[in-house]
Chains A and B, each alone.
Chain A
Amino acid sequence: MVVQGIRKVTAGQNGVGAFILQCKRLDFHYCDWAGSSKGMNSFIRNHLQKFASANPSIEISISPRPNRHPVIRGHYINGREKAICVRNLEPNQVLKKAELLRDASGEKLKSVKKPVKSINESVRGVWSPYHGGGMHV
């Protein structure tokens, strides 16, 4: 037995085969009394059902949070969560925030500097000084 196999694991590439939406749960917290929840309450009454049926892969829970500002909290597959306070927002603006949380990956926000990020090897290869003729000085 000369050549041995080394045990490794494959790396996931979300979207190459199947795409898994990274937001797995959205919590909507509202207050019945406070005025800052007015838009949120209207959103829950009029828009949320449509939003939920358009995004079946997100678990949606609604719970009161008395005497506090309304909050949308997104839970992600990588274990992180993101919360957005939607006080004094109109229902449409609340919908925008919910969509923002839905489309987020759950990662911390960071500036993307390189246009392409890949785990595959470069097709061109790394430049080597020992190949390709060389320059005669």
Chain B
Amino acid sequence: MKRLRIERWSGQLLTPRTRTRTIQPCCLRQQQQKLASYTARSYSSSSAAKHPSPDDELVFEDEGEHPELSASDYPSIPSYPSPLPSAALESAKLAALHARLGIPKKLPLQTMARTLVDPSADPHKHFNNASLAQLGGSIMSYHVSEWLLCTYPRLPMTVLFAAQYAYSGPKTLQLVAREWGVETAAAPGEEVDPGLLQFSKLEPGTKYGANREGGTVRPDSRSYYRRGISSRVVYDDEFGDAIPKLKDQNEPLPAELAYSNFVKAVIGAIYLHSGAEPAKTFVKRHILSRHLAMPGLFQFKLPVRELSRLCNREGFEYPVARILSETGRLSRHPVFVVGIYSGKDKLGEGSGPSLQEAKTRACVASLKAWYLYSPGKDVPVPSDMESGKGAGERGWEPVHIDMGEVIH
């Protein structure tokens, strides 16, 4: 696979201070200011969600001819949809957040402030976190997926999708950001403290993306087509969900997505300012260190059949269920303990109130024991080789990746 040269993209993502040579944000702000000087209240926080065109509220120079002008009709001080980069240096909240996360000092506060501005708050791509979130999201999902694949090499694809969602899905990232102590601003605007997360909030009772048209990016987007697992790997996102084709970045969005974009943007910003290794460490410390009970992600439909197919594929002997112990067979609370044997090897055991139930549980236990095989928690992952340390003196040893679940 061709390697992406992300460092070539990064020019537009750097801080105001470093990017002055190339794109001159000051000029951008001056243009905005010039535009705003002709308009009144066009970018105030109350109208930020609507983004009216400048022609709507033109104030003419011959104001003296209008006797009934009120104070609000006079051109106000030009304001922007998000706080100025210079405001970031004076925000105690932002500096505290920067220190709390242990982010390298190389990442300036202005960029940190930019990660908190959602495209729904400021549509200008140089002042919102859309590009940083795109970059950080792919870095995070790369590290999470390589860690999951190397740590649990036999996970079925559906469970792998679920595990990826559990570690890096929007719900989890929202929890992460809340555990970092990030709060949301009531409404975006220039006057907002740069340490608050700014986005246009979805009104209560409205559904996100309800009136969105255009379907998904999948070529087989008809509703009656079957979405197989292999096609999800190719066409869909890292959680196996279809990617919507048209997405208006400026529409209001739920807090969950705004929080997750912020977390991704922080990772992207660390990558750009400090490099790949600190970004990986950050993902490890904040995302991969979280606790997930992996056996709880499985849901089997036909465990007995699946186990027999698995044994067949792997060349094990046909699995046989045997009663290990039982009590109160004729009472109200019988308990049977059943073990599943393949030849002389016990694959798993389970207990239940009936023989059938105990057998099913034993099959589930055996399947989980197979699928959840792990060589250990600190398995070398491919990205270890990119850092100078590598995988020790021995060099890279290919990791074992199993062929996955049984298909029958």
Contacts and interface: CB of A to CB of B under 8 A. Distances in A.
Interface in A103-129: 119-120, 128-129
B299 A5 contact: yes
A42 B68 CA distance: 56
A5 B162 contact: yes
A2 B301 CA distance: 6
A96 to B, nearest CB: 22
Contact of A2 (B100, B180, B181, B405): B405
Contact of B158 (A4, A10, A16, A18): A4
Interface string A1-26: 11111111111111011101100110
A6 B337 contact: no
Contact of A21 (B100, B298, B335): B100
Interface stretch (B289-297, B340-348, B395-403): B289-297
Contacts, number: 133
Contacts of A21: 100
A58 interface: yes
Nearest to A132: B325
A17 B291 contact: no
Interface residues of A, number: 34
A57 B99 CA distance: 5
Interface residues of B, number: 60
B218 interface: no
B179 to A, nearest CB: 5
Contact of B327 (A11, A12, A77, A130): A130
Interface of B: 92-93, 95-97, 99-102, 156, 158-163, 165-167, 169, 171-172, 175-176, 178-181, 195, 229, 284-286, 288-293, 296-302, 305-306, 324-327, 335, 337, 351, 367, 371, 405-406, 408
Interface of A: 1-14, 16-18, 20-21, 24-25, 56-61, 77, 119-120, 128-131
18 contacts: A2-B301, A2-B405, A3-B156, A3-B298, A4-B298, A5-B160, A10-B175, A11-B290, A12-B290, A17-B286, A18-B289, A20-B101, A20-B180, A25-B93, A25-B96, A59-B195, A61-B92, A119-B291
